C-alpha cells in the first residue's frame, strides 16, 4: 500500500475528487461515461468507485432512482444526497456553540448555550448533543452525519484525531492534544512532553455520534471561520486577533489554517509589549494579554476611577465620551496596533480581523488600533493591509470546525466544492446570535 | 482545457509526477509496464508520455540506449539524463552568487563575485553568464538547462514571472516585480500601485539562456535554501533572519516559502523595537534594522569608543573580551531576541536560523539573542524552538533560487525527487565560500 500523504495516496485522492466532481457536475453517470470523462483505467476507476460506494459517498441507481429518469439499462452512479453533512462544535470556556451544514454546504443553523467554566466534559457533550438535535430537527438527518469538527480552548497539535473507515467501534486513533495541558487553562509550562492521547471531547463525541471527530484550538478555528464565511470571506492571507478573557488569534496562510511546528501558532496574546509590565498567566511578563484582555481593560478603567462591570458598560461609557474609558481603550488599542504592525511586517496578511467581546467597543478601540498599525507597519504595506471587525460573532469557532472538516479531513474528497462555501452567510436557528464571541 | 490550478490540471500534474517517479525508480520501462504500474488508461498514459517526450523530460530507447541493455524488442522510455538541470543566481546588492545542480539534484558547484552596487543590469547578467560558464565547464550542459531561479534585492510579488512552453522567443509574460520599486533600494513608499512588467534580470537572462526565469526576493530565497540544504535542512517550519547591511528574513511554512498577500512577508528588520529610536531608511522609526544592521552595530561600537572598520574586526574585538564590543553585541542581540520571541509566539517555527555577516560574530551575539528569545517566548515553546546559525554562507540565496525552480515552477514535474535534495551538501568550485552571506 502507498503511504498516507505519499504521491500514490495523493494521486488516489485526486482520482476520488475527480470522480466526485464529475458526479456533482453532471449528475448520475454510468461507469462507462465516468471512465470516458476521467481518463482512468477501468481497473482504477472500479476500485475508486467501490471505495466511494462502500464509504457511502456515492450510491448506485439500484439503491436510489436516478432523478432524471433517463431510462438507461446500465446502472448509474450518483452522489448520496444523505451524505456530506457536517457539524461544528466550539467548546469555549464558558459556553457551547454549534453549527451545521447540509450536503450543499449551506449552513442550516447555529445555536449557543452558556455554561459554567467547570462543567465536566460528559455534560458538555450531552449539552452539545441537545443543541445539535435542536438544529437537526427538520433539516439534518443525523444518520447522514459525515464528521464533526471541534474547537477547544488551549494548545492543540495535529488536528486530525480520528482515522476514517469503520465509523463506529474502534477507539479513537491518533492523539491530538497534549493531556498534560488542561484545555481549560490555556498555555502553560508543560513538563510532560509529547501528546499521549485523544481529547475527552473527541472520545465522547465519537461514542455519541459514531463519526470521525477532528479537533483544533477554537480561536484558530474562529480565524478559519472568518476567512471563509466572515469578515475576510474568500481572503487567502488573514490574521485574526481575538480580544476576550484571553487574547489569542490565528493565521490563515494561502487559504489554509497555519498551525506552526507544534500547534503553537497564533499566540499573539503572549507577545511581550512591556518588559516592565504585569505578570501574565502564561508565566511571562508584560504580554499583550496583560493590557488587552477584558479583565486588563476593565481593571485599567476602574483604576482610572471609572465604573464598569463588563464590556458593554465600558463600551457605553466610551460612546458617551467618558474620558477615562476613551483613554483606557486608546492605550490598549495602541499596544494592539503595535503588535499587529510587527506581525504584518513579518507575515504579510492582506486582511486583519479583530474579534472577541472587546471589539464590541467599536471605534473607541479600533481607531487607535488602526492608527498604531499604520504608524508602525512598513510604509509599503500601509495602504494595502485592511483592518476589519469580525462578523461571525460567537459562532465563528463552530463554523471554523465545519471548515476544518471541509478543508482538512480525509473526508475532504466527499466535499469537492469548497470554494462555494463563502456564498452562503449563516442563518440562525436559535436566535442567540449575533452576540459575544467565544466567551 | 482545464484551468491552471484546477482539479483537472492538478490531476494531470499528479499523473506526470507518477510517471516520472516510476521511471526514476525503476529505470527504463516499456509503455505496457508503465501502464500496469501507474493505473492510468492507455489513452491518458500515452497523452502524458507524448507531452513528457515533447518537453524533453523523457526520451525513448531509440534516441538513447537503455543502460541495462535488456534487449527487449518493445520501445522503452527513460528519463532524459540531459534534462533537469537548473541554475540559481543571487543578484545581491554588491555581488553575484551562482549555483547549479544536475539531473540527480546534486549541487555541482557554486561561485561568487563581488561588484559595485551600481553595476548596470546588463553587466550583472554578463557576469552571471561568465560565472555560470565557469561552473558548467565540465559538468553541466547549458543546452540541457531547464530553468533559472533568481534572487533580487527588494520586494517581489508573484515569483513565477515566465510561462513555460516555447522556451525561446516570446517576450516574458507575467509581471513579477513592481518597477516603481528600485530593486536596489529595498522597501520604500510606492505610489505607483500595481506591478507593470518583468524585472530586468528576468528579461536579460531569458534572452541569454532561452529558458524560464523565476524570481523572488533573495533573502526569502536564502530562507528556502537554509530550509532545504542548510542549517534547517528538512525542517518544515523555519524562520530565517539575515543580519547584514539590511535586516530581513523569510518564513518557510509547511515546507514552502511563505510570501504573504503582496509578497511583503519576512520584513523582520522593519518591526519597531524602540518607538523613540533612530529614523530608518524605510521611513519608520526605531526599526530592528536601526539597531541590528552592520552599520548600526559598528556605529554603536564606535560611539562606545571602539575601533572597528568591519564585522570581522568587531568579531575579533569581542573574542578578545573587549567590553564595549561585547556590550554592543549584547544590546543588539537583546533586541533581536525579543523580536524573534514575538514572531515565535505568532508563527510557531521549530527552527530559527540566523545568518548574514553579523552572525559571524558568533556567541557574543547568538548568546544574548538566545537569552532574550527564551525569556520572552511562551513558556510552552521555550524548550521546543531551536536557534541555529546559518550554514550556507553567501550562496544561500542562489541555492534558494534552485529550490524555487524545484518547488514552484511549472517544471516541478520534471523534478519528482525533491526530498532527496537535503542529502547532498553543496560543493564549491570557485573556492570562494564559505564567506559572507549575500553582501
* A268 near B CB under 8 A: yes
- Identify the pLDDT of residue B62: 56
Of A46-50, A60-64, A97-101, A132-136, which gets the smallest average pLDDT?
Answer: A60-64
On the question of pLDDT at A4 being above 60, the answer is no
**What's B39's DSSP letter?**
-
Is A10 or B341 the better-scoring residue by pLDDT? B341
Confidence of residue A403 (pLDDT cuts 50, 70, 90): confident
Query: A260 CB contacts (<8 Å, ≥6 apart)?
Result: A266, B237, B347, B348, B349
pLDDT of residue B67: 53
Q: Please indicate whether residue A64 or residue B394 has the higher confidence score (pLDDT).
A: B394
CA distance B419 to B66: 26
Cα distances (Å, whole numbers) of residue B302 to B285, B288, B332: 22, 19, 14
3-state helix, strand, coil in chain B (%, to 5): 40, 20, 40
The average pLDDT across B89-109 equals 83
Q: Tell if the CB–CB gap between A378 and B346 is shorter than 8 Å.
A: no
Name the residue with higher pLDDT: A12 or B383. B383
Nearest alpha carbon to residue B83 among B367, B405, B322: B405
**3-state class (DSSP) for residue B19:** helix
Residue B38 has pLDDT above 50, yes or no: yes
Q: Lowest-confidence range among A19-33, B168-182, B393-407?
A: B168-182
Give the A:B interface size as CB pairs under 8 Å.
Answer: 199
CA-nearest of A411, A419, A105, A379 to A236 is A419
Using alpha carbons, list the distances in angstroms from residue B113 to A98, B129, B191, B206. 61, 12, 34, 21
Most confidently predicted of A206-215, A424-433, B72-81, B116-125: B116-125
- Confidence class for position B177, pLDDT limits 50, 70, 90: very low
The mean pLDDT of A222-242, rounded to a whole number, is 94
Give the residue-averaged pLDDT of B166-187: 34
Establish if B343 touches chain A: CB-CB under 8 angstroms. Answer: yes
pLDDT confidence of residue A145:
65
For residue B322, give Cα distances in angstroms to A244, B18, B308, B316, B371: 49, 59, 11, 9, 20
Q: Which pLDDT does position B107 carry in this prediction?
A: 76
CB neighbour list of residue A189: distance below 8 Å, 6 or more residues apart: A283, B379, B380, B382
Least confident of A91-105, A234-248, B98-112: B98-112
Mean per-residue pLDDT, B42-53 = 88
Residue B346 distance to chain A (closest CA, Å): 5
The x, y and z cell numbers of residue B301, run together, are 561600537
CA distance A291 to chain B (A): 16
Q: Is it the case that residue A63 has pLDDT exceeding 70?
A: no
Q: What is the pLDDT of residue B185?
A: 36
Q: What distance separates the 2 farthest-apart alpha carbons in chain B?
A: 82
Model confidence at B53, pLDDT cuts 50, 70, 90, reads confident
Q: Grid coordinates representing B29?
A: 520501462
Q: Which residues of B touch A51 (CB under 8 A)?
A: none
Name the residue of chain A whose CA is nearest to B341's CA.
Answer: A271
Over the stretch A123-159, which tens digit does the pLDDT of each residue have? Answer: 999 999 899 888 866 555 555 567 799 999 987 865 4
B363 part of contact set with chain A, CB < 8 Å: no
pLDDT in tens, A327-338: 999 999 999 999
Which of A235, A268, A379 minimises the CB distance to B282?
A: A379
Per-residue confidence band for B319, with pLDDT thresholds at 50, 70 and 90: very high
Q: What does the pLDDT average to over A16-43? A: 82
Phi, psi of B137 (to 5 degrees): -45, -60
Write the residue in A282, A349, A376 that is nearest to B284 by C-beta. A376
Mean pLDDT of A244-255: 93
**pLDDT value at B149 more than 90:** yes
* Nearest residue to A350 via CA among B92, B73, B157: B157
SS3 labels along A323-356: HHHHHHHHHHHHHHHHHHHHHHHHHCCCEEEEEC
pLDDT greater at residue A211 or residue A103: A211
Higher pLDDT, A108 or B205: B205
Residues of chain A contacting residue B380, judged by C-beta atoms under 8 Å apart: 155, 181, 187-190, 264, 282
Higher pLDDT among residues B82 and B158, named by residue: B82
Cα–Cα distance, B85 to B101 (Å, whole number): 6
What mean pLDDT value characterizes chain B?
A: 78
Contact A79, A106 (CB under 8 A): no
How large is the average pLDDT for residues B308-313?
95
Is residue B368 classed as helix, strand or coil in its secondary structure? helix
Write down the pLDDT at residue A335.
Answer: 97
> What residues does B58 pair with on adjacent strands?
B79
**Amino acid A67: pLDDT:** 53
> How confident is residue B167, by pLDDT bands cut at 50, 70 and 90?
very low
* B190 interaction partners in chain A (CB closer than 8 Å): 380
A262-283 tens-digit pLDDT: 888 999 999 999 989 999 988 8
Residue B37 has a pLDDT of 83
A255–chain B nearest CA distance, Å: 11
pLDDT exceeds cutoff 90 at B151: yes
**pLDDT of A249 above 80:** yes
Judge whether A283 and A189 are in contact, CB under 8 Å.
Answer: yes
Say whether pLDDT at A5 is over 50. Answer: no
Nearest Cα to A245, choosing from A293, A299, A277? A293
Grid coordinates of B383? 524548550
pLDDT band at B101 (very low <50, low <70, confident <90, very high): confident
Query: pLDDT higher for B62 or A354?
Result: A354
CA dist A358 and A336 (Å) reads 12
Q: How far apart are CA B377 and CA B360, in angstroms?
A: 24
How confident is the model over B236-260, as a mean pLDDT?
Answer: 94
| Contact of B284 with B291, CB cutoff 8 Å | no
Q: What is the pLDDT of residue A189?
A: 35
Retrieve residue B18's grid coordinates: 507518477
* Chain center to CA of A342: 25
Q: What percent of chain B has pLDDT over 90?
A: 47
Which one is predicted more confidently, A17 or B143?
A: A17
Instruction: Give which of A38, A187, A348 to mutate to test B binding, by max B Cβ within 10 Å.
Output: A348
Interface test with chain A among B346, B372, B375, by most A beta carbons within 10 Å = B346
Class of residue A438 by CB neighbours under 10 A (exposed 0-12, middle 13-18, buried 19+):
buried
Which residues from chain A sit within 8 angstroms of residue B384, using beta carbons? Answer: 261-262, 264
CA distances from B330 to B21, B215, B269, B292, B341 (A): 50, 36, 17, 11, 16
Query: What pLDDT sits at residue B17?
Result: 72
Please compute the mean of the pLDDT values over residues A208-220 and round it to a whole number. 89
> Does the CA dihedral B339-B302-B115-B138 come out positive or negative?
negative
Residue B435 binned pLDDT confidence (cut-offs 50, 70, 90): very low
Q: What's the mean pLDDT in B197-216?
A: 88
Please enumerate in sequence order all residues whose Cβ is within 8 A of that of A56, keeping only pairs 6 or more positions apart, or say none.
A80, A83
Instruction: Specify whether the backbone of A19 is left (phi greater than 0), alpha (psi in -120 to 50) or beta.
Output: alpha
pLDDT tens-place string over residues A350-373: 999 999 999 999 999 999 999 999
Q: What is the mean predicted confidence (pLDDT) over B350-374?
A: 97
pLDDT at position B146 over 80: no
pTM across the whole model: 0.75
How does the average pLDDT of chain A come out, rounded? 78
Residues of B in contact with A341 (CB under 8 A): 271-272
pLDDT for the residue numbered A83 = 64
Prediction ipTM score? 0.73
Q: Are strands B95-101 and B85-92 parallel, antiparallel or unpaired?
A: antiparallel
- Answer with the residue of higher pLDDT: B209 or B164: B209
Maximum mean pLDDT: which of B84-88, B154-158, B250-254: B250-254
Question: In this structure, what are the phi and psi dihedrals at residue A69, rounded to the nearest 5 degrees?
Answer: 55, 50
- Which SS3 state, helix, strand or coil, does residue B56 take? coil
Mean pLDDT across the stretch B330-334? 98
| Closest C-alpha among B52, B51, B75 to residue B64 | B75
Phi, psi of A250 (to 5 degrees): -160, 160
Amino acid at each position: 500500500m502507498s503511504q498516507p500523504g505519499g504521491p500514490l495516496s495523493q494521486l488516489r485522492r485526486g482520482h476520488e475528487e475527480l470522480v466526485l466532481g464529475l458526479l456533482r457536475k453532471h449528475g448520475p453517470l454510468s461507469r462507462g461515461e465516468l471512465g470516458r470523462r476521467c481518463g482512468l483505467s477501468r481497473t482504477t476507476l472500479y476500485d475508486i468507485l467501490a471505495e466511494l460506494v462502500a464509504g457511502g459517498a456515492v450510491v448506485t441507481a439500484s439503491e436510489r432512482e436516478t432523478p432524471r429518469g433517463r431510462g438507461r439499462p446500465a446502472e448509474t452512479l450518483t452522489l448520496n444526497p444523505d451524505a456530506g453533512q457536517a457539524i461544528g462544535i466550539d467548546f469555549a470556556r464558558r459556553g457551547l456553540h454549534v453549527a451545521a451544514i447540509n450536503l450543499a454546504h449551506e449552513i442550516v443553523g447555529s445555536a449557543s448555550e452558556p455554561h459554567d467554566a467547570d462543567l465536566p466534559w460528559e455534560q458538555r457533550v450531552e449539552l452539545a448533543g441537545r443543541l445539535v438535535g435542536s438544529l437537526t430537527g427538520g433539516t439534518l438527518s443525523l444518520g447522514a452525519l459525515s464528521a464533526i469538527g471541534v474547537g477547544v480552548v488551549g494548545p492543540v497539535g495535529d488536528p486530525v484525531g480520528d482515522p476514517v473507515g469503520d465509523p463506529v467501534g474502534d477507539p479513537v486513533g491518533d492523539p491530538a492534544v497534549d493531556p498534560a495541558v488542561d484545555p481549560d487553562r490555556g498555555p502553560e509550562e508543560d513538563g510532560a512532553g509529547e501528546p499521549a492521547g485523544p481529547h475527552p471531547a473527541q472520545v465522547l463525541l465519537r461514542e455519541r455520534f459514531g463519526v470521525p471527530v477532528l479537533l483544533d484550538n477554537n480561536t484558530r478555528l474562529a480565524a478559519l471561520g472568518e476567512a471563509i464565511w466572515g469578515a475576510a470571506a474568500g481572503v487567502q492571507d488573514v490574521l485574526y486577533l481575538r480580544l476576550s478573557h484571553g487574547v489569542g488569534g490565528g493565521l490563515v496562510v494561502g487559504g489554509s489554517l497555519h498551525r506552526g511546528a507544534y500547534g503553537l501558532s497564533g499566540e499573539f496574546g503572549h507577545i511581550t509589549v512591556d518588559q516592565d509590565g504585569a505578570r501574565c498567566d502564561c508565566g511571562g511578563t508584560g504580554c499583550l494579554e496583560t493590557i488587552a484582555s477584558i479583565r486588563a481593560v476593565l481593571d485599567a478603567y476602574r483604576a482610572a476611577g471609572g465604573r464598569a462591570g463588563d464590556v458593554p458598560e465600558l463600551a457605553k461609557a466610551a460612546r458617551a465620551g467618558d474620558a477615562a474609558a476613551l483613554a483606557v481603550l486608546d492605550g490598549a488599542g495602541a499596544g494592539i496596533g503595535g503588535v499587529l504592525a510587527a506581525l504584518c511586517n513579518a507575515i504579510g496578511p492582506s486582511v486583519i480581523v479583530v474579534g472577541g467581546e472587546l471589539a464590541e467597543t467599536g471605534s473607541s478601540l479600533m481607531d487607535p488600533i488602526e492608527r498604531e498599525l499604520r504608524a508602525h507597519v512598513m510604509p509599503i504595506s500601509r495602504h494595502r493591509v485592511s483592518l476589519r471587525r469580525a462578523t461571525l460573532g460567537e459562532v465563528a469557532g463552530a463554523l471554523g470546525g465545519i471548515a476544518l472538516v471541509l478543508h482538512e479531513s480525509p473526508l475532504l474528497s466527499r466535499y469537492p466544492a469548497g470554494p462555494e462555501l463563502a456564498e452562503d452567510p449563516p442563518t440562525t436557528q436559535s436566535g442567540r446570535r449575533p452576540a459575544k464571541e467565544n466567551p
